[in-house]
């Protein structure tokens, strides 16, 4: 087992005008499960491939334990990788697939058999060892790919979106198996996904990337409750945090008919940067329906009600606001406009077309600089 360290590691592809991974510095503890997450093209898979030795490190270095592996061949890095597409040999049985790397390493038949059978018991594959991959389900094939990595007993596991080819139900089931298995084995694991729900439920810590730049590293709770910038705020959480640009008028943030009071610390930070606008965020569960209009309440016209059994989501348009504002963070294909999402309990469902008032619960407001996206003091 070993720690993993990125020191200002950079990858610039030939002919590219900007780095795909830009001076990333990150320390992963021995035995830790770290998830790299971000939208498509953010550099997370490139970062993983740099660690695997499949991509060149143009600047900086990468260490496994105390050993600089920046220029070490992939086969000599003592890592095992699990791919999105399983990469199983179709003509080999499950047993042969799982033991192939050990066979190439010159291990004895007895050792190979023992390791394969131990891993198969761990992954509930014992009855499938003599089958070919074509006779397996997608989830079973993914477990075989996991078993092939486990039998090598590497210092580091690398997983590149291993669940993306599975259906939704199987994805949920398999991610819990992977997380519990990693804890049982205690092997340092770096896991890449674009699915922030996977990141929140699986990782000891999460590293969020955007455009090749590391945005924030922390526990799932830290990223959810205190995002460092508007991008992380909009990316982490489902449904996404409500993010809107407000004008600053006196000690209030104003958008349409909504007026949100700002703290002295926030106002001082805005004054220091000479800003006349502010980006405010509040999660759907941080809003509650108010009986009457009051200070700081958001007037909303309900446009859609989604009943999901255990939860109800209300979609409302902020009254008095006009125009569309591109999300300052989060999915670049999403325009928030004046939409506000409220998460509430079943049975609390105003009719579509009705007018309501929503208030932000204490501690539920997040303030960000509109220009830099960084979190402001509150």
Does a structural domain hold residue 293?
A: yes
Q: Which of 234, 259, 289 is a domain's end point?
A: 234
| 274 Cβ neighbours under 8 A, 6+ residues apart | none
Does a structural domain hold residue 242?
A: yes
pLDDT per position as a tens digit, 183-199:
989 999 999 999 988 99
**CATH number for the domain harbouring residue 298:** 2.40.50.140
In the chain (378 residues long), the average pLDDT of successive 10-residue segments reads: 94 94 97 95 95 96 96 94 87 94 91 93 92 91 90 93 84 87 92 92 96 97 96 93 95 93 96 96 95 86 90 90 43 56 86 92 96 95
Element of type H or E holding 343: strand 339-344
Q: Which of 181, 211, 234 is a domain's end point?
A: 234
Q: Which of 188, 203, 234 is a domain's end point?
A: 234
Answer yes or no: do 209 and 245 share one domain.
no
Question: For residue 215, which of 81, 13, 24, 19 has the smallest C-alpha distance?
Answer: 24
Answer yes or no: do 312 and 264 share one domain.
yes
Does a structural domain hold residue 81?
A: yes
Q: What is the pLDDT of residue 321?
A: 67
Does a structural domain hold residue 253?
A: yes
Q: What is the pLDDT of residue 333?
A: 31
Does a structural domain hold residue 378?
A: no
Determine contact, residues 350/289, Cβ cutoff 8 Å. Answer: yes
Strands of the sheet containing 67-68, edge to edge, are 21-28, 4-11, 59-64, 67-68
Answer yes or no: do 134 and 207 share one domain.
yes
Does a structural domain hold residue 68?
A: yes
Answer yes or no: do 225 and 119 share one domain.
yes
Answer yes or no: do 135 and 245 share one domain.
no
Answer yes or no: do 269 and 222 share one domain.
no
Q: What is the pTM of this model?
A: 0.88
Helix orientation angle between 109-122 and 94-104, rounded to the nearest 10 degrees: 130
The domain tally of the chain equals: 2
- Containing domain of residue 77, as a range? 4-234
Answer yes or no: do 154 and 30 share one domain.
yes
Q: Is 55 helix (H, G, I), strand (E, B) or coil?
A: coil
**CATH number for the domain harbouring residue 160:** 3.40.50.300
Answer yes or no: do 222 and 334 share one domain.
no
Does a structural domain hold residue 377?
A: no
Answer yes or no: do 17 and 40 share one domain.
yes
Q: What is the pLDDT of residue 322?
A: 57
Answer yes or no: do 123 and 167 share one domain.
yes
Strands (E), 104-187: 156-160
Q: What is the pLDDT of residue 335?
A: 38
Answer yes or no: do 249 and 215 share one domain.
no
Token reading at 232: 């992380």
Answer yes or no: do 134 and 42 share one domain.
yes
Q: What is the pLDDT of residue 24?
A: 97
Does a structural domain hold residue 374?
A: no
């Amino acid at each position: 087992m070993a720690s993993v360290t990125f020191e200002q590691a950079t990858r610039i592809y030939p002919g590219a005008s900007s780095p795909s991974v830009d001076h990333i510095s990150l320390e992963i503890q021995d035995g830790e499960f770290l998830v790299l997450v971000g939208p498509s093209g953010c550099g997370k898979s490139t970062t993983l491939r740099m660690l695997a030795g499949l991509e060149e490190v143009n600047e900086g270095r990468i260490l496994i334990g105390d050993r600089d592996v920046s220029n070490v061949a992939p086969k000599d890095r003592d890592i095992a990788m699990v791919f999105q597409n399983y990469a199983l040999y179709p003509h080999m049985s499950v047993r042969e697939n799982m033991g192939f790397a050990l066979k190439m390493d010159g291990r004895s038949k007895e050792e190979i058999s023992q390791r394969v059978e131990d891993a198969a018991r761990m992954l509930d594959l014992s009855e499938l060892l003599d089958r070919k991959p074509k006779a397996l389900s997608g989830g079973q094939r993914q477990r075989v790919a996991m078993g092939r990595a486990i039998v090598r007993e590497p210092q580091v596991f690398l997983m590149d979106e291993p669940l993306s080819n599975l259906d939704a139900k199987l994805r949920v089931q398999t991610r819990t198996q992977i997380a519990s298995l990693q804890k049982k084995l205690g092997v340092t694991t770096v896991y890449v996904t674009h699915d922030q729900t996977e990141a929140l439920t699986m990782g000891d810590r999460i590293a969020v990337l955007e455009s090749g730049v590391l945005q924030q590293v922390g526990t799932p709770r830290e990223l959810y409750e205190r995002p460092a910038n508007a991008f992380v705020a909009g990316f982490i959480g489902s449904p996404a945090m409500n993010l809107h640009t407000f004008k600053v008028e006196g000690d209030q943030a104003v958008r349409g008919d909504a007026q949100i009071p700002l703290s002295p610390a926030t106002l001082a930070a805005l004054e220091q940067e000479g800003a006349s606008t502010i980006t405010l965020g509040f999660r759907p569960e941080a809003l509650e329906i108010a009986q009457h209009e009051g200070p700081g309440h958001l007037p909303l016209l309900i446009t859609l009600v989604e009943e999901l059994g255990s939860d109800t989501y209300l979609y409302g348009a902020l009254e008095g606001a006009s125009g569309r504002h591109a999300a300052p963070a989060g999915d670049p294909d999403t325009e928030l406009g004046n939409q506000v999402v409220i998460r509430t309990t079943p049975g609390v469902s105003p009719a579509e077309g009705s007018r309501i008032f929503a208030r932000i619960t204490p501690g539920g407001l997040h303030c960000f600089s509109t220009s830099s996206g960084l979190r402001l003091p509150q």
